[in-house]
Structure 1
Amino acid sequence: MKFIVDAQLPVRLARFLESAGYDTIHTKDLPNKNATSDTEINAISMRDNRVVITKDSDFLNSFLTIKEPYKLLLITTGNINNLELETLFTANLQSLAELFNNHSYIEITHDSIIVHM
């Protein structure tokens, strides 16, 4: 599974996912860095079959209307520090990977994973 981590999430999350063995890029890794447009991120996601990890509801809107990005992980924790975010992913990464085998839109909160059909 491959990921692209959106600008409002820390580079630390992308590096954590890389260290867990996942092909991951952060928008800061792209030529336009965090100024990369949502359209461009969607195009990369579609081209490379990457799950977009974001807090941005604009990606949800495009997913629901035009089925882009390829797959979506929406983080709805509100403000969360980097350590809490990493702990959340540590506890749920295996489940998320398994769920993305059969689902395209998943939401993660402080205490649950919600699979949207």
Structure 2
Amino acid sequence: MKFLVDAQLPVRLARFLESAGYDTIHTKDLPHKNATSDTEINSISIRDNRIVITKDSDFLNSFLTIKEPYKLLLITTGNINNLELEAIFAANLQFLSELFVSHSYIEMTRDSIIVHY
């Protein structure tokens, strides 16, 4: 499974996912860094089969209307510090991996995972 972490999430999250064995890039790793357009992020996601991890509802809108990005993990935790975010991922990463085998849009809150069909 491969991820692309969007700009409003910390680079630290991308590095955590890498250390857990997942092929992960952050928008800061891209040529235009955090100024990379949503269109370009969607294109990279589709080209490389990368799941976009974001807090940006614009990706939800594009996913629902034109099925881009490839797959979407929408983070709806509100304001959260990096340690809490990492802990939520650590607790749910295996389950998320299993869900993304057959689902394309998942939402993660502070205390739940919501699979959208």
Report the equivalent of 1:76.
76
SS in 1 for 2:79: coil
2:109: which partner in 1? 109
The Cα RMSD (Å) is 0.2
Runs (5+) with no aligned partner, structure 2? none
Q: Secondary structure at the match of 1:111?
A: coil
DSSP-derived class of the 1:52 partner = strand
Q: Is 1:8 matched up with 2:24?
A: no
2:26 corresponds to which letter in structure 1?
H
Aligned partners of 2:78, 2:107: CA distance in 1, in Å? Answer: 12
State the distance in 2 between where 1:49 and 1:41 align. 11
Deviation >3 Å, runs of 4+: none
Aligned to 1:69, the other structure's residue is in SS state: coil
What stretches of structure 1 of length at least 5 have no aligned partner?
A: none
Quick one: distance in 2 between partners of 1:104 and 1:71?
Answer: 5
Q: Which amino acid aligns with 1:3?
A: F
Equivalent pairs, count: 117
Name the SS of the counterpart of 1:74 in structure 2: strand
Residues 40-80 of structure 1: per-residue CA shift (max 9 Å, x gap): 00000000000000000000000000000000000000000
Q: Provide the identity percentage.
A: 87
